[in-house]
Amino acid sequence: MMVNRDSEWVRMFNRRAAVLAGGQAALISALVGRLYYLQVVESDRYVMLAEDNRINMQLLSPPRGHILDRFGQALAINQQNFRVLIVPEQVRALGATLEALSHIITLSEFDRERVKKEATRKRGFLPVTVRENLTWDEMSRIQVNAPDLPGVTIDLGLTRFYPQQENAAHLLGYVAAVDEADLTGDPLLQLPGFRVGKEGIEKVYDTALRGKAGASQVEVNAYGRVIRELERKEGEPGADVVLTIDERIQHFAAECLGGESASVAVMDVHSGDLLALVSNPSFDANAFSRGLTTDEWKALSTNDHKPLVNKAVAGQYSPGSTFKLVVTLAALEHQVISPEQTVSCNGRYNLGNYVKRCHKVHGSVNMTRAISASCDVYFYEIARRLGVDKIAAMARRLGLGDISGIGLPGEQRGLVPTEAWKKSVRNERWSPGDTLNVGIGQGDVLTTPLQLAVMAARVANGGVAVKPRLVRPATGADPLSDAQAEQELPSLGISEEHLNVLRQGMFDVINGPPGATTAAAAKLRFKDPERREWTMSGKTGTAAVRRISVAEREAGARDPGELPWHLRDNALFVAFAPSHQPKYAIAVVVDHAMGGGGKIAAPIARDIMERVLDLDPSHKPRVDDEQVAVTTTVPPA
């Protein structure tokens, strides 16, 4: 009985041992299978995950492309930027370290609070920028005191720098930190401290200038601290942008304007290249690059001379008598008067009970005399015969009332009014008095200085629809030659005979008989034999900015010095030179000047044009010397 019981226990034990062994075998098989799956089948995946946890990819900001003038002179470049960083975990007391640092370099209370807030948001081993754009002396002082400043380091980066400072600031614009409106999905925009173009060429060509990002492969520990750099691939620098501007002319033109609120546009009449586009007063673009202080922004934004506005393309002005060039060509084309016919000017022009006045009594004047003397009565009469719509059509052909196409932000199109415009915008009928105002460039007509330069260029080049150009071709090749430019651009369909009449009048404005000119001060003053006989042709303009009462008119013109600055007339002048073989056109507008266009704007244009011709590579007009002789009659251009 006892033997049977022992045998039963043995069999039960064996069964249980077999079950346990089978279970263990199953578990071991599952474990081996799982290990095989993880280490063999899924090995690539887990290697990649491990590497991703150990290795980080960091974007590297590429150097921003340069902006250069037509001869390679630097207008916007990158400059070494010394900045001081602090690693919070390496300092005993952040506040005390910042206090010690403030005795070595200037630190505002705003800087200190910003650093403390940023340090609380980041991991302790990540550096925080304390100040950028350190001078060499500031950087040196920090380095000398480095043993007493644990956790403080100097970093070298790049920042945007404008060597010409205020010169061409309106053209170039500036760069600033990225905001939400700038985000486009480009990972570069996520980099700390990355800058994008905010105005001017910097904004228009921002994508090309910023380049392509590089990458740095670094090994990190479990906390994200960088241990070492494994691989580095530099980015692709941004492309350079070459402007048509000649920095020497740009700078000289700005100097000629002095303290005036004014603007200048200088362009090649054949290629359309802009050699200068100046708005005065200007601002230092470097201040925007580093960040304006509150006081700096207040000084710029409250200045009544509007230094932040690019007046050359965004300033809208009544063109005054410079608009008489448009009226003249419209009158000749529609044959409302011939060049020889005269109009009698007794200083007044009556339209029913409406009386308009001229600035003086001119007597009997023909077309060229009316242009040179700027007789308002003559242009009241031919404007009345024409009607505003015919005048407006010619104005648009000459480049007024439309965007130029150079692409600068904020450019205005001006206004060329018509009967339909007044009806649709003001729900008013056009009146004959409105036409008289338009005939002398007043009333609702508005133009920009750049448009006036384009108008002068199209008159000078024989009626070719030249367009202004600010950026050289992307290939880096020289701009189109004059001949190529004329072949590619359409004709305006204006008679050469009519243009000759107009150019004769413009020639007489400056070079006519004594006492018969309105801009004798604009005569070129070359003394060398090669250019002594060169002349400039132009047209003055003086545009009122306020309504003048009948009593004021009867009392006579007031001295501008008796008026507040903002109530003085604007002074304008448009011209081209040399007269016989035109190559360059210029427009000058002086806001609220101490005199008219002939007294204030014309001498400025003369000085700038002399400089332009001095720097012209050919040093002579595009004709033989024997063809340069000047007479009182201008031959066809």
Distance CA(42)–CA(56), nearest Å, equals 22
**What's residue 483's pLDDT?**
41
**What's residue 497's pLDDT?**
96
**Burial class of 199 by CB neighbour count within 10 A (0 to 12, 13 to 18, 19+):** buried
219 is a domain residue: yes
- Contact between residue 541 and residue 571 where contact means Cβ atoms under 8 Å apart: yes
306 is a domain residue: yes
339 preceded by cis ω (within 30°)? Answer: no
What residue numbers bound the domain in which 108 lies?
79-165+176-194+202-237
Residues 182 and 294 in one domain: no
Cβ contacts of residue 633 below 8 Å, gap of 6+?
504
Residues 569 and 528 in one domain: yes
CATH of the domain at 114: 3.90.1310.10
Residues 282 and 338 in one domain: yes
13 is a domain residue: no
Instruction: State how far the alpha carbon of 157 is from the alpha carbons of 18, 55, 80, 85, in Å.
Output: 73, 24, 6, 12
At position 264, the amino acid (one-letter code) is V
Report phi then psi at 186, rounded to 5: -70, 120
CA proximity to 288, closest of 196, 190, 208, 206: 196
**pLDDT at residue 400 greater than cutoff 90:** yes
Sign of CA dihedral 485, 489, 490, 495: negative
- Average pLDDT estimate for 244-269: 96
pTM above 0.75, yes or no: yes
**What's residue 618's pLDDT?**
65
Which residues are bridge partners to 538 per DSSP? 575
Q: Longest C-alpha distance within the chain, in Å?
A: 158
What is the 8-class DSSP label of residue 262? E
10 is a domain residue: no
The per-residue b/e assignment along 88-123, b for 16 or more CB within 10 angstroms, e otherwise, is: beebeebeebbeebeebbebeeebbeebeeebeeee
Distance CA(258)–CA(604), nearest Å, equals 10
**pLDDT at residue 414 greater than cutoff 90:** yes
**What's residue 486's pLDDT?**
44
Query: What percentage of the chain reaches a pLDDT higher than 90?
Result: 51
Mean pLDDT computed over every residue of the chain: 85
136 is a domain residue: yes
Helix 324-333 to helix 376-386 angle (10° resolution) is 50
Which residues are bridge partners to 363 per DSSP? 345
**What's residue 18's pLDDT?**
78
Residues 569 and 607 in one domain: yes
Residues 434 and 303 in one domain: yes
Residues 221 and 267 in one domain: no
Residues 145 and 264 in one domain: no
560 is a domain residue: yes
**pLDDT at residue 15 greater than cutoff 50:** yes
**pLDDT at residue 508 greater than cutoff 60:** yes
Q: Where are the alpha helices (DSSP H) in 398-448?
A: 419-426, 432-439
CA proximity to 163, closest of 66, 281, 256, 237: 66
CATH of the domain at 368: 3.40.710.10
Query: What percentage of the chain reaches a pLDDT higher than 70?
Result: 85
State both tokens at 561.
Answer: 């010095």
CA proximity to 539, closest of 566, 565, 571, 569: 571
Please tell me which residue, 505 or 517, carries the higher pLDDT value: 505
Residue with tokens 């041992």: 17
**What's residue 98's pLDDT?**
87
How many residues are there in the chain?
637
548 is a domain residue: yes
Count of domains forming the chain: 2
Distance CA(203)–CA(67), nearest Å, equals 12
Distance CA(72)–CA(478), nearest Å, equals 12
Residues 397 and 348 in one domain: yes
- Average pLDDT estimate for 514-529: 86
- The per-residue pLDDT for range 325-358, each reduced to its tens digit, is 999 999 999 999 999 999 999 999 998 888 899 9
**What's residue 617's pLDDT?**
72
- Average pLDDT estimate for 15-31: 81
- The per-residue pLDDT for range 465-476, each reduced to its tens digit, is 999 999 987 544
Residues 233 and 260 in one domain: no
Please tell me which residue, 532 or 370, carries the higher pLDDT value: 370
528-531 contact pairs (CB < 8 A, 24+) = 530/619, 530/620, 530/625, 531/613, 531/619, 531/620
- The per-residue pLDDT for range 215-252, each reduced to its tens digit, is 666 665 554 455 665 667 777 888 999 999 999 999 99
- Contact between residue 464 and residue 253 where contact means Cβ atoms under 8 Å apart: no
Residues 211 and 259 in one domain: no
359 is a domain residue: yes
State both tokens at 598.
Answer: 């002939």
- Average pLDDT estimate for 359-365: 93
State both tokens at 423.
Answer: 């009806």
Please tell me which residue, 529 or 608, carries the higher pLDDT value: 608
Residues 180 and 284 in one domain: no
Please tell me which residue, 503 or 477, carries the higher pLDDT value: 503
- In degrees, rounded to 5, the angle at the alpha carbon of residue 52 between the alpha carbons of residues 51 and 53 is 90
432 preceded by cis ω (within 30°)? Answer: no
Question: DSSP 3-state assignment of 43?
Answer: helix
DSSP helix, strand, coil percent of the chain (3-state; round to 5): 40, 20, 40
- Average pLDDT estimate for 40-53: 58
**pLDDT at residue 131 greater than cutoff 60:** yes
Question: DSSP 3-state assignment of 139?
Answer: helix
**What's residue 611's pLDDT?**
96
Residues 302 and 376 in one domain: yes
